[in-house]
Structure 1
Amino acid sequence: MARNEDQTRRDLIDPALAARGWGSDLIRVETTVGGSDIIGGRPRRRKGRTDYLLCLPAPDGGSPLPIAIIEAKKEEEGDALGLQQAQDYRRRFHVPFVFASNGHLYTEWGEDTRHIASHLPLAQFPTPDELRQRYEALRGISLSSPAAAPLLKTYKGGESSRWYFQDAAVRAALEAMATGQDRVLLTLPTGAGKTNIASQLLWKLATGGQLRRALFVCDRDELRTQAWSRLHGFFGDGAQIVTSSNPQANARVLVASYQTLNVDSDGEPQFWRENYPPDYFSHIIIDECHRSAWGKWSVVLRDNPNAVHIGLTATPRTIVGGHAGEPGRERDEQITAHNLRYFGEPVYEYSLVQGQEDGYLAASEVIRRTVDLDATAITRDDIVERSAKDYYTGRTIQPGDIDDQYDARRYEQALQLPDRVDAMCEDLFAMLLETGGPHQKAAIFCVRDTHATEVTLALNNIYEEWCKSTGQKPAEPYAFQCTGNPNLRPSAAELIPDFRGSKASHFVAVTVDLLSTGVDVPDLGNVVFFQYLNSPIEFYQRVGRGTRTGTPQGSKLLFRVYDYTNVTRLFGQPFEAREKPEDAGQPPAPDHDDPGTPGAGPTMIRVEGFDVEVQGAGRSIVVQRGGREALIPLEDYEAEIAAAVQDVVGDLDGLREVWADPQRRGDLFGAMEGGGASLRMLRQMRDQDDCDLYDVVAELTFKAPAKTRALRVAAFEAQEKPWLTSLAPDIKNTVLAMALEFGRGGIDELETATLFDTPAVRNAGGFRALNRHPEGAEAVLTGLKKRLLR
């Protein structure tokens, strides 16, 4: 009988690698989070893995250097089958060589040859010395040189202190520096741990003898504090926050905002020039460099021409979405061009969708809503026949002070519409009630400060009415304004910690752009757009507030984007699986700070008396298509998954057979876009968290009614009595105990390494009991799975 993949690895590949000098210390199996399930109120991670990550040895107990991926397949497969999968891993893991093997032969591809060589004997697999020579020639680096020393230094806290893509980003940056590159750009999404990457990067530079003094620059005090907290864990008192009264000139790592450095204002940057002479720093890290390094504060870079300049950004370097010529789109294009011109191409990129598929970032569901009033302009006559007042004074507005018409880009900028605010807030509150209740963390992005005030008031009134009608005790505050208004009390700085940490209040933050970058709220479940945007960069920054995976980490699988202004078009060109009408009547999307027409009447006209209706425009999810994020309607995504499943399993009986086999089920996941992570996301979106993923797939693909795990256990106990009666008492009791474990967490509970250590299973007889069955423990367990899935 041909060996399966695990047996091929153990019996054929492992010995062959060892014979070629690849000891266990040079072979790493990297795991990814792979999504999480919530079992008994606690998250349980599901890990993906690479087969083999080959590393070069490091001297003096340093960190082995990853350089190659091997993707193993079972013995009866062709040796080249895994190469495509390995190529995908190559980019994510930042290694130059990839291999695939069936245990007898291997296929290889390298960045040096850029040629596929297949059907090579595994006994001739390259040795570590051979791959090192190829690596050094390709990269132009001698690993024994001082310039390469940081590459081989250990991480602060060990290898477990970083995720695989963070390691890849650090290595890519250090490789570039080792070749003399002094401008380095890293592009990773919000929530991917860019500050940890920066901290580990500086740590390796320091332990490698190349860090003299570093400056970490950000653009707000909140971000400065967050960065210092991480860096202080690495450098202790060697990392210090710069304040206007203390330049911390003797610190090893300085953390500063542009405002504190006095480099973002007009005139001579006196504080900067008095405290930091030219070339004072050996390394400068620009956080959120999408904000561009070519404004007034570029003096920081100009005064340190011999330092290594490192840019971190969460926004895409390729601008998609919006319309050519729009101000926001043009500004993004300029910033992107500046970044690429200054730093060069990113040395490493990791996408939002990849982070979601790996399970490090929460997936996003897009719920699109349309406001009928936004599809047509409001005219002077419309306003005159209604109650029109000056927003600030309450005086009556004369017709001559009113423009001919106002379109949606000027709503809440020049025209305040309380009926529209109420309708949108009522609709959003109804959506929250449908998706788990009002006590969810949400951030609403508004047009301007006055708009945020009106939305806050409206939401609190709606919430209070709901509390009265349901007999609930109101949370205080429920919705709160969180903007940069200096007269706001409590201030945003005082409110953000409660928004982040409180479980009993501060549920809805209503902002303009204060929360758009850097504010870490892991449990944020909803990002809401009442704000029109043209800028993909600004849009991505706002969406990024929802990507973190909760507290504890992994407890949040999904966040929702509520789109009332068609901003989600900025994810990229929408993918439409079938012909659909275009978004008719959608107004042009201005930036949030569009002031309207200068000098056109009073600052703000308040108009009441409009009938406003909000309607659904479909649910979508974000996927990776053509190398960028794209929006796809939920029903189309479900149809694609169903088609992929049917191609593999054929019918419901085939699905049951595949599902009971962990390896075949894994192969089935591999045939789906997003794999098992996509199914777990769909399960939550379909309100089927009490079901095993089998039922999600069976219903999607074969229209089989979904059953909860508890219902399947009850049906098993009732319908399988003849089989159970045929078993010895201790085997029967063990099987029943294992069935209850299925009820607790699904099919995966029957495949954990600790299944036979659970008290109920162990006390019933456990593995020893099952092993006494004539067909063995594995056969009994497989039979149990299939019967549970009937």
Structure 2
Amino acid sequence: MAGVNKTNLTETDIITKFILPAIIDAGWSMMSQVRQEVKLRDGKVVVRGKLAARLTVKSADIVLYHKPGLPLAVIEAKANKHEIGKGMQQGLDYARLLDVPFVFASNGDGFIFHDKTNALQLESEIKLDDFPTPEQLWNKYCVWKGFTAEQMPVISQDYHDDSSGKSPRYYQLQAINKTVEAVSAGQNRVLLVMATGTGKTYTAFQIIWRLWKAKSKKRILFLADRNILVDQTKTNDFQPFGSAMTKITGRTIDPAYEIQLALYQAITGPEEYQKAFKQVAPDFFDLIVIDECHRGSASEDSAWREILEYFSSATQIGLTATPKETEEVSSTDYFGEPVYTYSLKEGIEDGFLAPYKVVRVDIDVDLQGWRPTKGQVDKHGEIIEDRIYNQKDFDRTMVIDERTMLVAQTITDYLKRTNPMDKTIVFCNDIDHADRMRRALVNLNPEQVKKNEKYVMKITGDDDIGKGQLDNFINPKKAYPVIATTSELMSTGVDAQTCKLVVLDQNIQSMTKFKQIIGRGTRINEKHGKLWFTILDFKKATELFADERFDGVPEKVIRTTPKEITDPDSDFDEQLEDETPENELPDEINGVEEPFATYDPAPGDGTGAFEEDEENKIRKFHVNGVAVKVLAKRVQYYDADGKLVTESFQDYTRKTLLKDKDYASLDGFTRKWHSAARKQVIIEELQQLGVLWDVLAEEVGKDLDPFDLLCHVVYGQPPLTRQERANNVRKRNYFTKYSAPAQNVLNTLLDKYADEGVQEIEDIQVLKLKPFDTLGRPLEIIKSSFGNKQAYEDAVNELENEIYQLPPRSA
């Protein structure tokens, strides 16, 4: 565009007038191959106290596609005042998320082209007229990927186009594309690891759809071990398969259907007549997708593994959030290493999964233990074995009624302080424990139960009435049940989008199980106000967060002997030490809003019945009359590094800012604050670092301006209120250099600052508000008082500098 002065153009103008024309001239279709403002992340949710904020995220300026779902390149644009390659690093970050080899950065003069397929020169400068064609980039991409001609029909197969506008997120694109690539290349065992709540079933649907439509796979079996998983899949994500799909029931496989969904239990069993899968030939299915593959079929001696082995010629894709690696069971032994992994930490950082805060509650008998008196009998007259019972015993071999009531009271108190209608799952040791916990919660919440008797429900495998309420519990539109007590049934596969409280009163040793249970709370549902959740932990289960295996694929367990260890210098005695030993309590307990109740024993002789645990046949004693109390409670938050920390929000803010080079010192902060034409820009930038102004102000307990909040909390300066700052400006009497009308405007702006804050006076629209509206329209006020808009803006900037003067430091 000859004659256009690019230096005055905005970034949007550069895209519209130079970049897009260059792309279109090279033959790219704006309808199907070019997308602008592609938002790849949702923005991390930061939680402190009862408040949460979602951080804003930048979008990729332009993404180029071979066809929808198959990205090729990222283009990042900057205004012409910047160097041509200014956006490259940002573009490379987006390219990493999309797994594409091509990145272009431009300021409108041309492009810097980053080409991962070019081993000799990664980056080069090209002219606007030389932008590569779609065919050129696609051909380079295929060579880079190593695709063969035989793979191309499958690789190029379209995604299912959802009329509702739903499209795969960036990590789902990677999972789908990598799986389709692996299958098209002849890989017959494929493992996908994706955190709970990240859409494994939708991902599986798109994989199956593309392979099915390309006629690469014609008969497909989807396997799960929970009925609810099969039903949810059929009704929701797999619905587009329509009449080609059926759910196997009645132990009969109908060969007329191409897509078959089945419970393991429906097609096999211990008796030969139950093995319905043998009704069809071993080569009948050419694709099997196994949901939650870390469970049943992962074990070599599992009765369910025989289904996979019978159909061994089929391509088999395993889906899991938690691949199992133990001495007895290995997901990777069977499926191989994952073709793609998307972790809980990545999901939280991207804003697709809900972060958590952990409330650890330490009960005295758990930490100090309880021992019966000599010859003491339980409620049914059985003599109690004389030993010290502790946290691992309670509700497994020893039941103390007062402990159950204290846990239930703590849950009740928490919900009353937050919201009694927040969906809650209480994980208990067994069905008997879940029964007693339900009863305790019913007795402690009579007003809620009177409103609806389903306020608290036991949802376990043995209870048809409870299981019948599972759909209502997970349905965001259904208010009841609110609290579900369970042991195993709800630990996996329950899509509880609005669960805001996960209670752990269960001894959890398995990392796989722990990840699955935590996954019950990680789904986000903004429509119903679910951005984060709380874990209320009574059994120290959350110590597993500190285990290095928590957020990754577990290390493979290998049987070995001392003779087989080849490294004599290896140190096998090094152990991770617990931050808080069992016999110690943290010195500082944060976040206690009010003391929890203490339960004293009720009158009585404390004797009663001995119970038999029908599930595990473990001998269980049952007593009451034991005094129990909460010794300590601490609140931990998920921090920016993905770790749990016990700290106040002031501590968090201080550490976060001092780590940033722009805010590492008071001088650096004030320099940046004063140099900003609009303080709102700094305020929003600090929000991106996780500074929640409302939370910080509430914790400090004073009505302070953001500037003073940080000066006080981060740099230890004595804080001034906005009113005190306004008074100090007036004492200095610097207004006298302005005309009387201008002084009137500036004085009124100072009042606005004292009442509302600096954001109020930076917006020129403030001149439309009272009392300015009596002086005329904004432009009239500016012209009559200051002469022109620039003079007005200069005066406002000078006013801000006066407001934020720091007192001289003492020598």
Secondary structure class of the residue paired with 2:312: coil
CA distance in 2, matches of 1:646, 1:704: 19
Q: Which residue in the other structure is 2:600 paired with?
A: none
1:151 touches 1:171 (CA, 8 Å); kept in 2? Answer: no
- Given candidates 554, 564, 588, the residue that maps to 2:538 is 564
**Structure number with higher helix proportion:** 1
Assess, with a 3 A threshold, how the Cα gap between structure 1 residues 461 and 631 changes in structure 2: closer, same or farther.
Answer: same
Q: Which residue in the other structure is 1:614 paired with?
A: 630
RMSD after superposition: 5.5
Greater shift in the superposed pair: 119-128 or 227-236? 119-128
1:645 is displaced (CA, Å) by 5.6
1:618 touches 1:633 (CA, 8 Å); kept in 2? Answer: yes
Matches within 5 A, 1:514-525: 514-525=489-500
2:76 touches 2:90 (CA, 8 Å); kept in 1? Answer: yes
Q: Which residue in the other structure is 1:29 paired with?
A: 37
CA distance in 1, matches of 2:287, 2:361: 46
Matched, 1:582 2:579: yes
Assess, with a 3 A threshold, how the Cα gap between structure 1 residues 146 and 666 changes in structure 2: closer, same or farther.
Answer: same
Deviations 1:427-481 (A, max 9, x none): 23223333x13222111111111111221222222223xx49xxx9654333221
Secondary structure class of the residue paired with 2:255: coil
2:658 touches 2:665 (CA, 8 Å); kept in 1? Answer: no
- The residue type equivalent to 1:26 in the other structure is V
Matched, 1:196 2:232: no
- The residue type equivalent to 2:210 in the other structure is K
Deviations 1:122-181 (A, max 9, x none): 656655444323321222215795543554445333764332322222122112222222
Q: Which residue in the other structure is 2:326 paired with?
A: 333
Q: Which residue in the other structure is 1:530 paired with?
A: 505
- The residue type equivalent to 1:92 in the other structure is L
Matched, 1:643 2:651: no
Secondary structure class of the residue paired with 1:547: coil
1:141 touches 1:148 (CA, 8 Å); kept in 2? Answer: no
Assess, with a 3 A threshold, how the Cα gap between structure 1 residues 169 and 397 changes in structure 2: closer, same or farther.
Answer: same
Q: Which residue in the other structure is 2:643 paired with?
A: 630
- Given candidates 306, 315, 319, the residue that maps to 1:312 is 319
CA distance in 2, matches of 1:655, 1:279: 69
Matched, 1:431 2:414: yes
1:153 touches 1:208 (CA, 8 Å); kept in 2? Answer: no
1:544 is displaced (CA, Å) by 0.8
Q: Which residue in the other structure is 1:591 paired with?
A: none
Deviations 1:515-574 (A, max 9, x none): 111112211101111112111111111111111122626x32211111222222222448
The percent of aligned pairs where both chains have the same amino acid is: 26
Q: Which residue in the other structure is 2:70 paired with?
A: 65
1:605 is displaced (CA, Å) by 0.3
Q: Which residue in the other structure is 2:603 paired with?
A: none
Secondary structure class of the residue paired with 1:289: coil
Matched, 1:357 2:349: yes
- The residue type equivalent to 1:289 in the other structure is C
Q: Which residue in the other structure is 1:477 paired with?
A: 454
Assess, with a 3 A threshold, how the Cα gap between structure 1 residues 409 and 47 changes in structure 2: closer, same or farther.
Answer: same
Q: Which residue in the other structure is 1:507 paired with?
A: 482
CA distance in 2, matches of 1:405, 1:77: 71
Assess, with a 3 A threshold, how the Cα gap between structure 1 residues 501 and 558 changes in structure 2: closer, same or farther.
Answer: closer
Q: Which residue in the other structure is 1:420 paired with?
A: 403
Q: What is the TM-score of this pair, normalised by structure 2?
A: 0.73
The structure whose Rg is larger is 2
Deviations 1:225-259 (A, max 9, x none): 10111245211122222112553432221111111
CA distance in 2, matches of 1:371, 1:176: 51
- The residue type equivalent to 2:295 in the other structure is R
Unpaired segments of 5 or more residues in structure 2?
1-6, 550-575, 585-610, 743-747, 805-811
CA distance in 1, matches of 2:536, 2:325: 23
Greater shift in the superposed pair: 769-778 or 129-138? 769-778
1:201 is displaced (CA, Å) by 2.0
- The residue type equivalent to 2:488 in the other structure is D
1:604 is displaced (CA, Å) by 1.0
Matched, 1:50 2:59: yes
1:374 is displaced (CA, Å) by 1.8
CA distance in 1, matches of 2:167, 2:193: 20
Matched, 1:137 2:143: yes
2:374 touches 2:386 (CA, 8 Å); kept in 1? Answer: no
Matched, 1:162 2:168: yes
Assess, with a 3 A threshold, how the Cα gap between structure 1 residues 666 and 528 changes in structure 2: closer, same or farther.
Answer: same
Secondary structure class of the residue paired with 2:43: coil
Secondary structure class of the residue paired with 2:178: helix
1:199 touches 1:230 (CA, 8 Å); kept in 2? Answer: no
Q: Which residue in the other structure is 2:225 paired with?
A: 219
2:289 touches 2:317 (CA, 8 Å); kept in 1? Answer: yes
Unpaired segments of 5 or more residues in structure 1?
318-330, 588-594, 670-674, 728-732
Deviations 1:251-294 (A, max 9, x none): 22111111112x3x324363423433212222211111121534
Q: State the number of aligned residues.
A: 719
- The residue type equivalent to 2:211 in the other structure is L
- Given candidates 293, 298, 306, the residue that maps to 1:299 is 306
Secondary structure class of the residue paired with 2:619: coil
CA distance in 1, matches of 2:242, 2:116: 40
- The residue type equivalent to 1:613 in the other structure is K
- The residue type equivalent to 2:789 in the other structure is E
Secondary structure class of the residue paired with 1:133: helix
Assess, with a 3 A threshold, how the Cα gap between structure 1 residues 272 and 129 changes in structure 2: closer, same or farther.
Answer: same
1:14 is displaced (CA, Å) by 4.8
- Given candidates 404, 408, 428, the residue that maps to 1:446 is 428
1:107 touches 1:116 (CA, 8 Å); kept in 2? Answer: no
1:26 touches 1:57 (CA, 8 Å); kept in 2? Answer: no
CA distance in 2, matches of 1:685, 1:256: 53
- The residue type equivalent to 1:288 in the other structure is E
Assess, with a 3 A threshold, how the Cα gap between structure 1 residues 418 and 151 changes in structure 2: closer, same or farther.
Answer: same
Assess, with a 3 A threshold, how the Cα gap between structure 1 residues 139 and 407 changes in structure 2: closer, same or farther.
Answer: same
Assess, with a 3 A threshold, how the Cα gap between structure 1 residues 610 and 194 changes in structure 2: closer, same or farther.
Answer: same
Matched, 1:283 2:287: yes
Assess, with a 3 A threshold, how the Cα gap between structure 1 residues 141 and 226 changes in structure 2: closer, same or farther.
Answer: same
Q: Which residue in the other structure is 2:381 paired with?
A: 396
Q: What is the TM-score of this pair, normalised by structure 1?
A: 0.74
1:118 is displaced (CA, Å) by 4.7
1:403 touches 1:601 (CA, 8 Å); kept in 2? Answer: no
Secondary structure class of the residue paired with 2:643: strand
